[in-house]
Amino acid sequence: MAASESSMQTDGMELLRLYHQNPSIRLRNRLVHLHTGLVRKMAHKFSHQCNEPYEDLEQIGYFGLIRAIERFDPSQGYAFSSFAVPYIRGEMLHFLRDRSTLLKIPRRWQELYNEGQKVRKELAISLGRPPKDMEIAKRLKVSVQEWQETKLAAQNRMPLSLDATAVHYVDCQITLGEALPCPRSTTQQQLDEERQQLQGAISLLEDKPRQAVEMVFLKELSRKDAAKNIGTSPMTVTRYLQKGIQDLICYLQPPAVVTGP
């Protein structure tokens, strides 16, 4: 098993080298297929912490994987998985943040939902069992699809209790309050991941700008000392820093969202 995993990693790095030298859709698709496990693992983790479907999280994660493939430089010696995970996680976080705003559902749906709750109780009494969506929709004189969409919209805007069960195992239950991460640990985790993503972006810089950024900002050397180490003048170091910072901004900024006409 270990030999097989090692072989896959070797094949993956070779494909990454080929893609870096000559990018193509075919190679990129092969790399995506080879690293689907990174996306699925992250989507599985997030799906237990939110109400979004696993499938949606997985699809969003592939955008992050593609960004990582396009920006990874195999010559820098970084493990691709360490480089890619922050991109995948970042795409999912952007998706969840965009979905987290409070929704205002149409007044018709509010009225329909309230009326549907009354009908549900009446049918439960008359039928002696919980009514089906089809039976409720028929009484309301709307389609089953409209009734289900109304229910979903109403449920998504309802606040969750911290005592609600988030994860259910055979021998125990974990409440939402227990599943929520500690703010301090969440902040630290976010800082660690942002640092890792920054290191990955620095690795993509050209050699001289990368050296200048690392010496001045990471090792905190003066520009004069950095110039001595690089073998150039302080003025040139300043130009390297300007280019490095501009490139880092391009590497780290979220991708533009392309909308249809």
Domain harbouring 134, CATH code: 1.10.10.10
Q: Is residue 17 assigned to a domain?
A: no
Q: Are residues 112 and 161 in the same domain?
A: yes
Q: Is residue 194 assigned to a domain?
A: no
Q: Provide the 8-state DSSP code for 163.
A: T
Find the range with the poorest average confidence among 23-27, 45-49, 167-171.
167-171
Q: Is residue 187 assigned to a domain?
A: no
Which residue did the predictor score with more confidence, 168 or 126?
A: 126
Closest by alpha carbon to 36, among 81, 94, 99? Answer: 81
Q: Is residue 4 assigned to a domain?
A: no
The domain total for the chain is: 2
The winner for highest mean pLDDT among 32-41, 47-56, 178-187 is 32-41
Q: Is residue 116 assigned to a domain?
A: yes
Q: What global pTM score does this model have?
A: 0.41
Closest by alpha carbon to 204, among 103, 15, 59, 71? Answer: 71
Q: Are residues 117 and 161 in the same domain?
A: yes
The winner for highest mean pLDDT among 9-18, 99-108, 120-129, 163-172 is 120-129
Q: Is residue 71 assigned to a domain?
A: no
From 117, 145, 179, give the residue that closes a domain. 179
Q: Is residue 91 assigned to a domain?
A: no
Q: Are residues 210 and 173 in the same domain?
A: no
The winner for highest mean pLDDT among 54-63, 77-86, 192-201 is 54-63
**Which residues, in sequence order, are bridge partners of residue 174?**
167
Q: Are residues 120 and 168 in the same domain?
A: yes
Residue 36 tokens read as 């689907």
Report the distance separating Cα 154 and Cα 109, nearest Å: 8
Domain that holds residue 159: 107-179
H/E element, 174: strand 173-175
Q: Would you say 83 and 57 are in contact if contact means Cβ atoms under 8 Å apart?
A: no
Number of other residues whose CB lies within 10 A of the CB of residue 20: 16
Q: How confident is the model at residue 39 (pLDDT cuts 50, 70, 90)?
A: very high
* CATH code of residue 214: 1.10.10
- Reduce the DSSP state of residue 157 to 3 states and report it: coil
